[in-house]
Amino acid sequence: MPIPGVAMTRRRLLGLAAASAGAAFSGPVLTGCSKDSSSGGGSTSLTFMNQSRGQVKALEKLVETYQKQTGVKVVIDSPGPSNFPAKLQAKSQSGDMPDIYSTLTLSEMIPYYKAGWALNLEPQLTGAWKPNFSPTALKLTTVKDGTVDGLGAGIYSAHWEIQTSGLLINTKSFESAGVDPKAPPAATDAWIEQLKAISQKSGNGAFLMASSLSPQFLLTHASNWLTDQEINATLAGTASWKSDGWRKGLQLLAELTAAGVIVNKALPGGNGDNPTVEKFFFNVQDTATIFDGSVAIGVARATAPDFTEYTSQGLPKATNGTQKARVSGGVGKGACINPKGKNVDAALKFVQWLTEPEQAKVFVDMVGLIPANPQVKESDVPAQVAGFASLVDTLQIVPTPFGADARTALISGVQGLVLKEKNVDQVLEEMDTAQKRAK
Amino acid sequence: MTARSLEGVVLPRARATARRGSPLARRRALMAYVFLFPAVILLAVFTLVPFVQAIVLSFQDWDGVSAGTSYVGLANYKFVLHDTVFWSSMRNVLIFGAAGFLIGNALSLGMAMAVNRVHHGKAFFRTAFYLPGVFSVVVIGMMFSWLLAPNAGILNRMLGSVGLSGLQHNWLEDPATALPAVAAVFLWYHWGFGFILYLAGLQDMPVELYEAASLDGARGWATFRYVTWPELLPVTAIVSLLTLLGALQVFGTVQVLTNGGPADHTMVPTLRIYEEAFTNRRFGSAAAMSVIFGGALVLLAVLHLWFSRRKR
């Protein structure tokens, strides 16, 4: 029944339809043309897109201090570690890149560097800013000419953290199994014996690692037989993954599987694999040892602040190694500056401020990281980080990043290895094939 | 051309609809096109253009960030043809499809028939059975992650507490149980949709047909075979098509529960495409996978509709 006074005439209907069409068109157009609200107002406002969940609180505290000191507002946008890569990629496509954004691994960042989304900081880093970075940190961030096709030499990110990888040990679990957590095993044989003892006590294994960390695990253990040059040659595709050094490196995982010490007899996989492993260690506390990066300490402080009964140490050296073992790691959290942003100078000043000793100390205190700034005293580093920090001098210097294809093949392969569906040679063969196919 | 009213009075259809080609019919058609115009534009912008772009991209090399792309001919398709993970994901998704199509449909139909027979509490069952489908896939994923977790998981704890610790299992990380477990979660999440449609179809069925069948001596199975099933065929066609396509396009459930693991045992094409694009940064080969997978889905949908029409 028509409502009196609002009868739908043809003209009215056509008008309504035209208005709908107009709204459909004008909506996106107007939205696209709208002025960025963050750039409005008189004061400078910067956006920092942060990947780390462990450093959010420290960053929020620091930007508050920075605003009080300079009047510059820095908005921290933390989409979370899993969503960060996709969100950053979407922003690069929409041309809406933040002023500052977290760096990921070099292989993940190369497209952004090539596309001109990161300011080359090398000219600044050779001046007054240089003392805020240890020589190792600078060496690890320097892209040399010819290392990456289509990318010029330079330093495209500034880091306030150095990252090493090794073992986190639940001291209570060790002690309850009669194993002294303060006495690191001499070599992998002794380590496996320790893990067997703890497994007997727990009834469900003693060691866990996220599949996504298998590249670091392999790089670290294979360094018992391979030099940095040999490792780099394989990553660059000029040497094979099927060499003896890699075989022996991966064999450790097969030995851990055979010893029955892997928790739940499987390695977690997928985007959330490392958070899952960290949850078992820090929150549920039912896993005695995990292989992780030093950044895990920050996660622990954010998600399980009351749990402190753990220590860190390096992966034990190989029983029959021919080289001095070196740890896989690199620079940890840091930032890139968007050179196409509206406030490049202000962004640079903020990142420079962020890497100064006072701010580095805040990161160390709140996050428990290994500082890239050499002016922070060793005694300031928390006890849990000490084991990871002691590995900084043994970091591998390998300029070529781990390729995505070999990495994907390894991540899938180690899961199959622990499930006893594949052997070491099959995994290495798949890595070799994947790397060649991608080339 | 006549239309029949409820009382059986025959009405000339010309009185109800304007004659084709008449000015009134032309004006009505024009008005319909005007109303459809915004939808067509939106369809073109958000469906057709991306679809064509995906096909073009499948012949290009792009890392997702660079401003430029280069044509690589059929290289992406060759790459996909040799991608064992993609083809094993196609095999896995067939299992999801079969589970959704056979078990999902059977469950939906069976429960709809059961609920249709009850006299009290029909609204309760309707709501309760449809409820899982209301939740976000992330909520469902997290819920079942906790339920099926190996150590602190509710299922394993329950098994342990009733003396069945021998049945405790690492449900989502054992290749033998990972795929069935994820498929079961998917079914639990989605079967309510089919159930509601089947129930609506059953409630719409004329009682006279059942009365006639009863007078002819038809019992349970015969009634279902010769009355219920033929009358439900249109509903079955659409429910089975939607559940089949939904199962083949499964993404969220797998991503949250296993992310394709362990060792790619639960990998599905949608997840593989996502991984290829956003993890490996090869949007060209991801687009080639999308074209192959999308083409297979279209083919399957066309075949299904053709088969359903033939059966009717």
Spell out which residues of chain A touch residue B280, defining contact as CB-CB under 8 Å: 404-405, 408
Place B311 in a pLDDT band, splitting at 50, 70 and 90.
Answer: low
CA of A67 to nearest chain B CA: how many angstroms apart?
Answer: 32
DSSP A212-234: GGHHHHHHHHHTTT--HHHHHHH
Of A18, A204, A269, the CB nearest to B262: A269
Contact B184, B97 (CB under 8 A): no
Whether chain A has a CB inside 8 Å of the CB on B6: the answer is no
Whether chain A has a CB inside 8 Å of the CB on B24: the answer is no
Spell out which residues of chain B touch residue A267, defining contact as CB-CB under 8 Å: 262
Q: Are residues B170 and A14, on separate chains, in Cβ contact within 8 Å?
A: no
Report yes or no on A22 lying in a domain.
Answer: no
Q: Are residues A24 and B173, on separate chains, in Cβ contact within 8 Å?
A: no
Chain B (193-222) residues lying within 8 Å, Cβ to Cβ, of chain A: none
Report yes or no on A60 lying in a domain.
Answer: yes
Q: pLDDT value at position A359?
A: 95
DSSP SS3 for B10 = strand
Contact A76, A48 (CB under 8 A): yes
Q: Are residues A268 and B261, on separate chains, in Cβ contact within 8 Å?
A: yes
Spell out which residues of chain A touch residue B151, defining contact as CB-CB under 8 Å: 204, 264, 280, 284, 286
Same domain, A110 and A247: no
Cα distances (angstroms) measured from residue B175 to each of B160, B257, B262, B311 = 22, 13, 6, 39
Of A92, A112, A284, the CB nearest to B152: A284
Q: Are residues A111 and B63, on separate chains, in Cβ contact within 8 Å?
A: yes
Residue B281 tokens, joined: 């940064």
Q: pLDDT value at position B219?
A: 86
Q: Count other C-beta atoms under 10 Å from residue A111's C-beta.
A: 19
| Owning domain of residue B123 | 81-311
Contact A234, A315 (CB under 8 A): no
Nearest Cα to Cα of residue A124 among A146, A154, A162: A154
Q: Are residues B261 and A264, on separate chains, in Cβ contact within 8 Å?
A: no
Q: Tens of pLDDT along B93-143?
A: 999 899 988 999 999 999 999 999 888 888 899 899 988 888 999 899 889
CATH number of domain containing A145: 3.40.190.10
Report yes or no on A57 lying in a domain.
Answer: yes
Q: Are residues A266 and B258, on separate chains, in Cβ contact within 8 Å?
A: no
Report yes or no on A152 lying in a domain.
Answer: yes
DSSP SS3 for A334 = strand
> For residue A100, what is the DSSP state?
E
CATH number of domain containing B220: 1.10.3720.10
Report yes or no on A410 lying in a domain.
Answer: yes
Report yes or no on A373 lying in a domain.
Answer: no
Q: Are residues A111 and B281, on separate chains, in Cβ contact within 8 Å?
A: yes
* A-interface mutation test, from B53, B61, B65, most A Cβ less than 10 A away: B65
Same domain, A337 and A349: yes
Q: pLDDT value at position A24?
A: 42
Same domain, A133 and A209: no
Mean pLDDT of B11-34: 76
* B-interface mutation test, from A412, A426, A436, most B Cβ less than 10 A away: A412
Mean pLDDT of B270-287: 91
Peptide bond before residue B262 is cis, with ω within 30 degrees of 0? yes
Percent of chain B whose predicted confidence (pLDDT) is above 70: 94
CA of A168 to nearest chain B CA: how many angstroms apart?
Answer: 20
Strands B10-12 and A329-331, by their bridges, are unpaired
Q: Tens of pLDDT along B202-239?
A: 998 888 988 999 898 888 889 998 889 999 988 998 89
Cα distances (angstroms) measured from residue B287 to each of A107, A439, B55, B76, B191 = 22, 19, 7, 8, 31
> For residue A327, what is the DSSP state?
B
Same domain, A322 and A337: no
Rounded-to-integer distance, Cα A360 and Cα A260, Å: 42
Q: pLDDT value at position B120?
A: 87
Report yes or no on A387 lying in a domain.
Answer: no
Rounded-to-integer distance, Cα B308 and Cα B174, Å: 38
Of A24, A284, A416, the CB nearest to B42: A24
Of B35, B170, B281, the CB nearest to A265: B170
Same domain, A176 and A260: yes
Per DSSP, helices labelled H in A142-227 are: 171-176, 188-202, 214-222
Average pLDDT along chain A: 87
CA of A361 to nearest chain B CA: how many angstroms apart?
Answer: 34
Q: Tens of pLDDT along A278-292?
A: 999 999 898 999 999
Rounded-to-integer distance, Cα A230 and Cα B300, Å: 50
Report yes or no on B62 lying in a domain.
Answer: no
CA of B87 to nearest chain A CA: how many angstroms apart?
Answer: 15
Last residue of a domain, one of A303, A321, A355: A355
Beta bridge partner(s), residue A169: A289, A311
| C-alpha A166 chain-centroid distance | 14
Report yes or no on B298 lying in a domain.
Answer: yes
Spell out which residues of chain B touch residue A18, defining contact as CB-CB under 8 Å: 34
Of B38, B170, B260, the CB nearest to A20: B38
Spell out which residues of chain A touch residue B259, defining contact as CB-CB under 8 Å: 269-273
Rounded-to-integer distance, Cα A434 and Cα A428, Å: 10
Report yes or no on B117 lying in a domain.
Answer: yes
pLDDT along chain A (439 residues), means of 10: 43 47 40 37 82 90 95 93 88 93 89 93 87 90 83 92 95 94 93 96 93 96 96 94 96 96 90 86 94 89 90 94 93 94 94 95 90 86 88 90 88 94 95 83
- A235-242: which pairs have CB atoms within 8 A and are 24 or more residues apart? A235/A398, A235/A400, A235/A401, A235/A402, A235/A403, A235/A406, A236/A400, A237/A403, A237/A435, A237/A436, A237/A439, A240/A432, A241/A406, A241/A428, A241/A429, A241/A431, A241/A432, A241/A435, A242/A425, A242/A428, A242/A429, A242/A432
> For residue A54, what is the DSSP state?
S
Q: Are residues A270 and B261, on separate chains, in Cβ contact within 8 Å?
A: yes
A345: left (phi over 0), alpha (psi -120 to 50) or beta: alpha
Statement: residue B90 has pLDDT above 90: yes
Contact B193, B105 (CB under 8 A): no
Q: Are residues B278 and A85, on separate chains, in Cβ contact within 8 Å?
A: yes
Residue type, A397: I
Spell out which residues of chain A touch residue B174, defining contact as CB-CB under 8 Å: 266, 419
Nearest Cα to Cα of residue A190 among A137, A135, A259: A259
Of B34, B65, B174, the CB nearest to A92: B65
Report yes or no on B182 lying in a domain.
Answer: yes
Q: pLDDT value at position A418?
A: 95
| Owning domain of residue A290 | 164-329+399-438
Same domain, A309 and A411: yes
CA of B68 to nearest chain A CA: how many angstroms apart?
Answer: 9
CA torsion, points A214, A407, A399, A217, in degrees to nearest 10?
10
Q: Tens of pLDDT along A175-208?
A: 999 999 988 999 999 999 999 999 999 888 999 9
Contact B174, B262 (CB under 8 A): yes
| b/e map B122-155, b = 16+ CB within 10 Å | eeebbeebeebbeeebeebbebbbebbbbbebeb
Q: Are residues A93 and B35, on separate chains, in Cβ contact within 8 Å?
A: no
Q: Tens of pLDDT along B47-78?
A: 999 999 999 999 999 988 887 888 999 999 99
Percent of chain A whose predicted confidence (pLDDT) is above 70: 90
Same domain, A281 and A407: yes
Of A117, A405, A419, the CB nearest to B175: A419
Same domain, A63 and A195: no
Rounded-to-integer distance, Cα A22 and Cα A33, Å: 16
Same domain, A140 and A248: no
Q: pLDDT value at position A439?
A: 62
* B-interface mutation test, from A8, A11, A20, A156, most B Cβ less than 10 A away: A20
Report yes or no on A189 lying in a domain.
Answer: yes
- Angle ∠(A86,A91,A97) on CA atoms, nearest 5: 130
Question: In total, how many domains does chain A have?
Answer: 2
Rounded-to-integer distance, Cα A354 and Cα A300, Å: 22
At A317, give phi and psi (nearest 5°). Answer: -70, 160
Question: In total, how many domains does chain B have?
Answer: 1
| b/e map A385-422, b = 16+ CB within 10 Å | bebbbbbbeebbebbbbbbbbbbbbbbbbbbbbbbeeb
The whole model's pTM is what? 0.78
Contact B258, B266 (CB under 8 A): yes
Q: Are residues A114 and B263, on separate chains, in Cβ contact within 8 Å?
A: no
Q: Which helix (H) or strand (E) segment is A290 a member of?
A: strand A289-293
